[in-house]
Amino acid sequence: MSSYVGRFAPSPTGPLHFGSLVAAVASYCDARANQGQWLVRIEDLDKPREVKGAAQDILHCLEAYGFSWDGEVIYQSKQTAHYAIALQQLQAWVYPCTCTRKEIADSSTRQGIEGFIYPGNCLHHPIKPQAPVAWRVKTQDFVDHFHDNIQGALHQQLATDIGDFVLKRADGLFAYQLAVVVDDAMQGVTHVVRGADLLYSTSRQRYLQLLLQLPTLNYAHIPIVMNADGEKLSKQTLAPAILANDASTQLLNALAFLKQTPPDSLHNATLATIWAWAIAHWDIHKITA
């Protein structure tokens, strides 16, 4: 029995597009080629951003494309009790913050890789006692070194690259960084294969794993699919939905994007034949960063 557990964790903000298909194919092939399990988790934490019906659409599309997942699909919206417990366990390292984005922009003196570094206005007490609070985690002097299976060696110093980051927002929603760490641990995930847009989130997640004494994971970040204008395919850039009746072609395109060089003979093959080839020939090291 292999101990590999992988996952695909789409946000239901719209139907699957080619970029999300590529992430699904990469995580699926890597799991199956390692005799691992492959789980699906719907990341519907941000209810205001959710598109009605998108989660069902995504699952139907995955089925139509011939993916088969292990166990039940987990919905983050049903997991909030677990996130609350984790936040409680982090109480020695978190503090309430009442700053708005604008206040942070106005008072910050440093840019990190994802925008302004939180300047610590509320570190000792929230600056606006009556306002709703977000919970931030102190990044302290954490310096992370990790090896990504595709991107190679990486390191990040959280305090200067990211700054103290939010675990629970002032509107009451738990942040992705906390939810993903709790869920990956609860589901026993061992291998994360996802888009490189999340590469710089990895150190934040590894930091939370350390504080919560959770196992560390293996990471592989696949290149992001861009459109002709050089923008990441996403709902915001109006990436077209992939269609259920076009599965073989799209699957072959995804494998080609992942540098797996599917042979021409697969062009008239059934989905099952394409999947069998893809898993048998899967080589994650062919993917270049």
* Smallest distance, ligand GLU to C-beta of residue 75, A: 12
In three-state secondary structure terms, 68 is coil
Comparison of 11 and 250: residue with beta carbon closer to ligand GLU: 11
Contact residues: ligand GLU, CB under 6 A: 9-11, 43, 180, 194, 198
Amino acid at residue number 262: P
Q: From CA 87, how far away is CA 152, in angstroms rounded?
A: 31
Q: From CA 127, how far away is CA 106, in angstroms rounded?
A: 14
Comparison of 99 and 158: residue with beta carbon closer to Zn ion: 99
Comparison of 89 and 121: residue with beta carbon closer to Zn ion: 121
Q: Which of 39, 97, 181, 189 binds Zn ion (CB under 5 A)?
A: 97
Query: Judging by beta carbons within 10 Å of its beta carbon (0-12, 13-18, 19+), is residue 117 exposed, middle or buried?
Result: buried
* Smallest distance, Zn ion to C-beta of residue 206, A: 24
In three-state secondary structure terms, 251 is helix
Binding partner of residue 233 among ligand GLU, Zn ion, none, CB cut-off 5 to 8 Å per kind: none
* Smallest distance, ligand GLU to C-beta of residue 41, A: 8
Radius of gyration of the chain (CA): 20
Comparison of 104 and 214: residue with beta carbon closer to ligand GLU: 214
Comparison of 11 and 37: residue with beta carbon closer to ligand GLU: 11
Angle value at C-alpha 50, between 47 and 51, nearest 5 degrees:
145
Binding partner of residue 180 among Zn ion, ligand GLU, none, CB cut-off 5 to 8 Å per kind: ligand GLU
121 binds Zn ion (CB under 5 A): yes
One-character DSSP codes across 238-249: TPPBPPGGGHHH
